[in-house]
């Protein structure tokens, strides 16, 4: 495996672990409250801006993944979509790059 692919994989793992490090204590304290989570994400203008930035980035990433998967027939790359939706762009993007750069 190339150094570049290992870097993508390491960033995908970091992008999964680091956000969860902060999210899981909040979930243990507040439970699985989607309205509470949305309120927390919109506590001020900076948090709201970041939420919208990540939302647009996630949509763009998913569209890119779908467009390339149907062109290149790299069906394994579809794993990056649930990673993006359930964890975030910080995991989904490097995971997609890792899956995309595998030897054909």
Domains in the chain, number? 1
Among 83, 102, 81, 79, residue whose Cα is nearest residue 14: 83
- Using CA atoms, how far apart are residues 45 and 4, in angstroms rounded to an integer? 36
What pLDDT score does 1 carry? Answer: 85
- Using CA atoms, how far apart are residues 73 and 62, in angstroms rounded to an integer? 15
Q: Residue 7 sits in which domain range?
A: 3-100
- Using CA atoms, how far apart are residues 23 and 41, in angstroms rounded to an integer? 11
Mean pLDDT by 10 residues, the chain (104 residues): 95 95 89 86 89 95 96 94 96 97 83
Instruction: Give 43's DSSP letter.
Output: S
């Amino acid at each position: 495996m190339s150094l570049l692919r290992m870097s993508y994989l390491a960033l995908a793992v970091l992008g999964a672990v680091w956000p969860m490090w902060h999210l899981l204590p909040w979930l243990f304290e507040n439970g699985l409250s989607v309205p509470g989570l949305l309120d927390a994400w919109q506590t001020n203008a900076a948090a709201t801006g970041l939420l919208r930035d990540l939302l647009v980035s996630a949509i763009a990433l998913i569209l890119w993944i779908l467009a390339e998967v149907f062109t290149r027939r790299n069906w394994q790359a579809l794993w990056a979509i649930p990673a993006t939706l359930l964890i975030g762009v910080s995991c989904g993007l490097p995971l997609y790059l890792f899956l995309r750069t595998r030897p054909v």
